[in-house]
Every structure is written in C-alpha cells, then in structure tokens.
C-alpha cells in the first residue's frame, strides 16, 4: 500500500495557514507528486483555532487520523499542544514560540497559559521551536511568519528546499517576493541551529 507523508499545519485564524498549505501543495505539483489536503474555511478568519491536513503523495481522502501525522507545523505554541495528539509516535513538531492568548482566557479569567507550562506538556515530543516573529521582522515584514515556519520545517518535509522556494515565489504577492525569500532562508537557518 502507498504511504503518504502526513502533515498538519495548525494556528490561529488569520495567521496564513492556508497560504502555507498552498505553497506545499504547489511544490507537490512542481515535483509531480500527488497531494490531498483539507482546510478550515469561513469563520476561521475570525481568530478561531485552525487546522489544515496535507497528505504528500496521498491518494485517498484528505483527513489525517489522530496519531497519524509525521509532522506538525504550528504557528502558535498553544495550538501545538492542542493538536499534539495528531502526532505519530516519533513524529516532529515545528512550532513558532509565540502564544496568542485566546480572548476566552481574558474574558473568563482563565489562567493564561505560559510558555513554560506548555513546554512542560510537550516534553516527550520532538519539538523544534522557532522565534518566527523575530525572524519575520528581520526579513522585513511581520506578515512573513508563515513562510519563516515553512523554511524551518523544510528540513523535515519530503520536498526539495529549491522546490519549496520556487512555490513561495509563485504564491506570495509579487511585491513581497524578496521579503518572503529571506523569511524562508532565515527560518531554514534558525531551525537548523536548534537541532
């Protein structure tokens, strides 16, 4: 049976998960590989928790079952914890180190999850942490955090770095190609350092 490489991209609505998944999908087309993905739409842009399933070399349905993901890319540390049960044993999480605190926490006076608390609950996971915000600022735009994360995750994706970069250039707005290229490279380097 054909086995796919199963990737979950998670984050908060508005962080650019769909663009990130489009870049991976386009890279699959460039490498002439089959791909299946499923996205969260609509209400997601309103700050909710979002997930995109991507199955590289997938030939069946787009959904990954819990415990089946080879890799999780998370744009928010809290969301990495929320979706960790999707990770396969021995899988990897590449996560941004920032936390967007849910409004529900402020409104209902819940305990605000700290980085230490989240990390302690991810101790048994192979976690690569990236300061995506810092790298994106360095690249020239805070909006390029999603591409920083792709660069960081590219070490663990079964796609060529060059293909991913080509897909980035194809899909980001024309004016921002340079910034995003830089963001990808910075992400690639930062993630390498923490290994």
Instruction: Kindly tell me which of 38 and 177 has the beta carbon lying closer to other proteins.
Output: 38
Applying CB under 8 A, what is the total number of residues that bind other proteins? 57
According to CB under 8 A, which one of 15, 17, 21, 145 is a site residue for other proteins? Answer: 21
Q: Are 59 and 34 in contact (CB under 8 A)?
A: yes
Please identify which residue in the block is written with the tokens 């360095």.
138
Q: Which residues of 7-26 are buried (b: 16+ CB within 10 A; e: fewer)?
A: bbbbbbbebbbbbbbbbbbb
The backbone torsions φ and ψ at residue 27, rounded to the nearest 5 degrees and listed phi first, read -60, -35
The angle subtended at Cα 123 by Cα 116 and Cα 55, nearest 5°, is 110
158 binds other proteins (CB under 8 A): no
119 binds other proteins (CB under 8 A): no
Shortest distance (Å) from residue 112 CB to other proteins: 7
- The DSSP line for 104-142 is HHHHTTPPPPPHHHHHHTTTTSEEEEE-HHHHHHHHT-G
Instruction: Kindly tell me which of 25 and 185 has the beta carbon lying closer to other proteins.
Output: 25
Shortest distance (Å) from residue 189 CB to other proteins: 26
114 binds other proteins (CB under 8 A): no
Shortest distance (Å) from residue 27 CB to other proteins: 9
160 binds other proteins (CB under 8 A): no
Radius of gyration of the chain from its Cα atoms, rounded to whole angstroms = 16
Contacting other proteins within 23-52 (CB under 8 A)? 25-26, 28-29, 32-49
Contacting other proteins within 56-75 (CB under 8 A)? 58, 60-63, 65-68
Instruction: Kindly tell me which of 114 and 192 has the beta carbon lying closer to other proteins.
Output: 114
Using CA atoms, how far apart are residues 139 and 183, in angstroms rounded to an integer?
5
For the chain, the first-to-last Cα distance in angstroms comes to 32
110 binds other proteins (CB under 8 A): yes
Q: Residue numbers of the site for other proteins (CB under 8 A)?
A: 1, 12-13, 21-22, 25-26, 28-29, 32-49, 58, 60-63, 65-68, 78-79, 81-82, 84-87, 89, 101-107, 110-113, 121
């Amino acid at each position: 049976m054909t086995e796919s490489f199963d990737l979950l991209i998670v984050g908060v609505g508005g962080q650019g998960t769909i663009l990130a998944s489009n870049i991976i999908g386009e890279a699959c087309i460039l490498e002439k590989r089959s791909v299946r993905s499923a996205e969260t739409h609509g209400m997601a842009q309103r700050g909710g928790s979002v997930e995109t399933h991507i199955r590289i070399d997938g030939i069946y349905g787009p959904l990954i079952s819990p415990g089946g993901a080879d890799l999780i890319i998370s744009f928010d540390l809290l969301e990495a914890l929320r979706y960790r049960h999707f990770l396969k044993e021995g899988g990897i999480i590449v996560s941004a180190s920032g936390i967007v605190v849910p409004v529900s926490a402020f409104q209902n006076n819940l305990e605000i999850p700290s980085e230490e608390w989240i990390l302690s609950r991810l101790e048994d996971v192979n976690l690569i942490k990236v300061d995506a915000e810092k790298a994106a600022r360095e690249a020239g735009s805070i909006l390029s955090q999603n591409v920083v994360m792709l660069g960081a995750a590219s070490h663990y994706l079964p796609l060529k770095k060059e293909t991913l970069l080509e897909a980035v250039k194809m899909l980001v707005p024309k004016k921002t190609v340079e910034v995003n290229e830089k963001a990808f490279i910075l992400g690639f380097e930062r993630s390498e350092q923490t290994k």
